[in-house]
Structure 1
Amino acid sequence: MKVTAFIRKTAAKNNITDQARVYFRVRDIGGVDIKAASELSINPNHWSPERQGYKPRVALVSEEKKMNFDKDVQQITHLITKEYHRGVDGSWLKGLIEEYHHPGINARGGNKADEYQLSYQIRKYVEETPLADESRKHHLDNLNKVLRYERFRHEVLHQRGFHLCIDTITADDIRDFKLWMHKYVDMYPVFYRNEVRRNVEQKRSENSMSSSLYRIRTVIKWCVKRGLTRNNPFDQYQIARPMYGDPFYLTLEERDKVYYADLSGMGATYLVYRDIFMFQCLIGCRVSDLNRLTKANIVDGFVEYIPQKTKMERANTVRVPLNQKARDILERYKDLENALLPRFSHFGYNKKIKEILKYVGIDRTVIVLDPKTREDVARPLYEVATTHTARKTFIGNLYRQVKDPNLIASMSGHSEGSRAFARYRKIDDEMKKELVNLLD
């Protein structure tokens, strides 16, 4: 495929007033030969077909004007080369050039070329694929990142008409996208002025970026499977594997310290959040499942539910027996109309967990992996505790007693043989040390 800029008009030798429109031509195997006009114009006597821009030593035109003109020709040529894919026609070329000169002019949709945009295919994937709510949310977050990145290329880098397309996206594009995800809002305050700050203000961790790239790879593989493209940039790009530290969790003694603590000095709201946290520690579900539980989920002394995260892969029902502590918590909320526990916001819940643990004195030092630097750091437990700490408290304490991952998985909602359990093997080392100390 070859892209050429050209003009169709000539002028008398000394004529310096006439202007000729610059056209772009695309030729490819199979008889492809399409042309479209741009809004660029130049005096025919100043045009160099070889350079596809101004001739050298044109004295009557400012250096700035010549430089800007040549830059526009180069950027349009690069844009056409990047966005070209099979099946395009003259309307596509015309629209692409229009988009360069007037960003957003073709945002009406309905263009056949839209189907080859990554953003379009992410939407289609979400619409046509059965997904758990959490997974769907993550893919839509990814869609917003892709759209924001394209707008960044348009407005900040002045690459008008730039889009990530499934036929042309390369490993270098993936690297550039990942590099962009590192950027801080403060570097481009005008660009980010209308964005929700929590979506863009923090530097993303390697694990977070890897998760985004895994989802893009999933969509591209889906496109390949459907015959939309043969291009998979991830054949030449290796996504960094997520890294996790050893699991930390509350011991049974620490859990009971929280369970029985007098929180009257903190206010009534904290008593409710303590109950929610303790109940999660006792049944081990994910927070997304916890907030959905109703009285109908209690069957014969068990809590029964289908994990939302994995329900599309395997709709297995998880059954966890309720011990006395869990039953006592539920008794306190028996007057709720339908919900098992008071509803809560994820963000508010995390914040309350940290405050409660600090108040109670759960300040044991734990080693955690800094998600941004990937270095081990020592932190008091209350600072790093989250809703997932409850889940790990349930799993970790069970694992100390019965090291049968499949049995525990039947109550935690993990798949059998889950790699997540590999991290709990660190507990074996702690138990070995305790045994050896008995010989002292």
Structure 2
Amino acid sequence: MKVTAFIRKTAAKNNVTDLAKVYFRVRDTGGVDIKAASELSINPNHWSAEKQGYKPRIALVSDEKRMAFDKAIQEITHLITKEYYRGVDGAWLQNLIEEYRHPNINSRGGNKSEIYCLTYQIQKYIDETPLAQDSRDHHLGNIDKISRYERFQHEIMHRRGFRLCVDSITPEDLRDFKTWLQEEHLYGERYPLFYKDIHPTKYSQIRSENSITGYFQRMRTVQKWCVKKGLTRNNPFDRYQLAPPMYADPFYLTLEERDKVYNADLSALHPANAVYRDIFMFQCLIGCRVSDLSRLTKANLVDGCIEYIPQKTKGVHANTVRVPLNQKALAILERYKDLETSLLPTFCQFTYNMKIKRILKYVGIDRKVMTLDPKTRQEVMRPLYEVASTHTARKTFIGNLYKQVKDPNLIASMSGHVEGSRAFVRYRKVDDDMKKELVNLLD
């Protein structure tokens, strides 16, 4: 009996992007000749038929990846040799190869095997752990991305049975998943049939390194939770370096820019723009997160103040945030006093972000600000209206208050930050005016 690994695809000499699936073939006396595909793949120009693995000295492939690939080929070959017996067929070979990557996937049985899927465990984590709604939504977003990635592997990469499982996921799996996350914005045009029923907002934007780090931090949380429960001893994050988040200095509207937007005549635009302007201005005046803004009702209006418990941090503490309303904020609420229970009209966050950009551009808020390119992480200058979002409102509230009172504890009591929050430190950028005040103390 002889076991060999082979590929069925070739590529142009300089092509280093195409991938070919690795197949295993078993031949034995009596006419036995069965084949089955594995989840392993390699660029055809890197494949050595003689070695049944990578050619030596492939410059574009790390030693770690090359060695892991060759080791997998050898281990699958050994497994087939060990388990082979007369009378087996192609289905047996396919199941055995799948078992190598996902132990017991075919023998656990329906519901039991599902337990080991990462998406299943993320949902269990959501169901069994007290989480703020924002955190729940982020974890649900991970389920959506991982599920789409797995379906992509099945339908586009032809990796039958591929799943990310808590007991078998590897650092190499994490690297492959990160690459897919970075490149998915290109796939809508490349694979239109696959994406025809998926809303473009889920895949068409370039994902920043900070966003991807956030996805992976949540995956790591769930993986550690599975280890703690005794479901697995596997934790690939012990051997995977997460990229640390990077942030540019916070940018926000000055009080003059804010008032320019507040007082702007938007009658030439669709009436909805004036409504979104009011929502944006109200958020600038109370500094809450957009997730909290969307939940505010008339019950949150108490003695001329807005009172609420921030959803993001209620799992850490449930302190009530109380923000007095100034005349501008009260004037906005007066326009919507006829609403039954809501303080402000309901809104879609995606549309809200788009409207903020359009309104600021129309009003002429085009001051250049420093931002990080989401792909290169290099600093670039862009007009404020291009990069403004709902969070710009929160930064406008915090940044301008800090310039006036410079008391982080007082401001944090109105912004809903946890005491000692690392995120809050980013709002405390020392600007030139503050530096001049300090220098003047030496006169």
Kindly report which structure 2 residues correspond to 1:33-432, keeping only aligned pairs within 5 A, or say none.
Answer: 39-40=89-90, 78-84=97-103, 88=104, 92-93=105-106, 109-110=110-111, 112-183=112-183, 184-185=186-187, 186-432=189-435
CA distance in 1, matches of 2:194, 2:256: 50
Q: Is the 8 A contact 1:281 1:394 kept in 2?
A: yes
Asked if 1 retains the 8 angstrom alpha-carbon contact of 2:250 and 2:427, the reply is yes
Task: Give the length in aligned residue pairs.
Answer: 378
Q: Match for 2:245: what amino acid?
A: P
Counterparts of 2:26 and 2:375, CA distance in 1:
52
Q: Is the 8 A contact 1:166 1:231 kept in 2?
A: yes
1:38 to 1:419, Cα distance in 2 relative to 1, 3 A: farther
Change (3 A) 1:6 1:175: closer
- Mean alpha-carbon deviation: is it higher for 368-377 or for 284-293? 368-377
Q: RMSD between aligned alpha carbons? A: 3.3
What displacement does 1:269 show?
2.1
Distance 2:106 2:170 in 1: 21
* Structure 1 residues 33 and 406: alpha-carbon distance in aligned structure 2, compared to 1, 3 A threshold: farther
Q: Distance in 1 between matches of 2:26 and 2:393?
A: 69
CA deviation after TM superposition for structure 1 residue 261, in Å: 2.0
After superposition, the C-alpha distances for 1:384-426 in whole angstroms (9 at most, x for unaligned) are 1111111000000111122222221111111011111222332
Pick closer, same or farther for the CA change 1:21–1:237 going to 2, 3 Å: closer
Task: Give, in angstroms, the shift of residue 93 of structure 1.
Answer: 3.8
Consecutive unaligned residues in structure 1, runs of 5 or more: 12-17, 42-71, 96-105
Provide the rounded CA distance (Å) in 2 between the counterparts of 1:196 and 1:323.
40
Name the CA distance, whole Å, in 1 between partners of 2:119 and 2:389: 32
Taking only the aligned residue pairs, the percentage that are identical comes to: 63
What TM-score comes out, normalization by structure 2 length? 0.77
> Kindly tell me: are residues 222 and 193 of structure 1, through their superposed partners in 2, closer, same or farther at Cα, counting changes over 3 Å?
same
Q: How far apart are 1:295 and its partner, in Å? A: 0.6
Q: Distance in 2 between matches of 1:392 and 1:83?
A: 46
Q: Hey, what's the Cα distance between the residues in 2 that align with 1:271 and 1:20? A: 72
Paired residue for 2:72?
Answer: none
- Structure number with greater Rg is 1
Counterpart of 2:57 in structure 1 is none
Give me the whole-angstrom Cα distance separating, in 2, the residues matched to 1:36 and 1:438: 91
Which position in structure 2 is the counterpart of 1:59? none
Change in Cα spacing, 1:430 to 1:177, as seen in structure 2 (3 Å) is: farther
SS in 2 for 1:270: helix
TM-score, normalising length: structure 1? 0.77
Q: List runs of 5+ in structure 2 lacking aligned partners.
A: 5-23, 37-75
**Displacement of 1:113 after TM fit?**
1.9
Looking at structure 1, the residues matched to 255 and 274 of structure 2 have their Cα atoms a distance apart, in angstroms, of 19
Task: Find the aligned partners of 1:318 and 1:36 in 2 and give their Cα distance.
Answer: 72
Question: For 1:20 and 1:365, how far apart are their aligned partners in 2?
Answer: 67
* TM-superposed deviation, 1:176: 1.1
Contact kept? 1:170, 1:233, Cα under 8 Å: yes
Contact 1:171–1:233 (Cα < 8 Å) also in 2: yes
**Residues 300 and 435 of structure 1: is their aligned pair in 2 closer, same or farther, counting only changes over 3 Å?**
same
The alpha-carbon deviation at position 190 of structure 1 amounts to: 3.7
Matched-pair contact (CA < 8 Å) for 1:22–1:38? no
Cα shift readout 1:59-81 (whole Å, capped 9, x = no counterpart): xxxxxxxxxxxxx95x7655322
After superposition, the C-alpha distances for 1:70-98 in whole angstroms (9 at most, x for unaligned) are: xx95x7655322211xxx4xxx5468xxx
Structure 1 residue 173, shift from structure 2 partner? 1.2
SS at 1:334 equivalent: coil
Q: How far off is 1:239 after superposition?
A: 0.8
State the Cα distance separating 1:20 from its structure 2 match.
7.4
Amino acid at match of 2:401: L
2 CA distance for matches of 1:33 and 1:192? 40
Q: Which amino acid aligns with 1:366?
A: V
* Deviations 1:3-23, CA, capped at 9 Å, x for gaps: 999989963xxxxxx557799
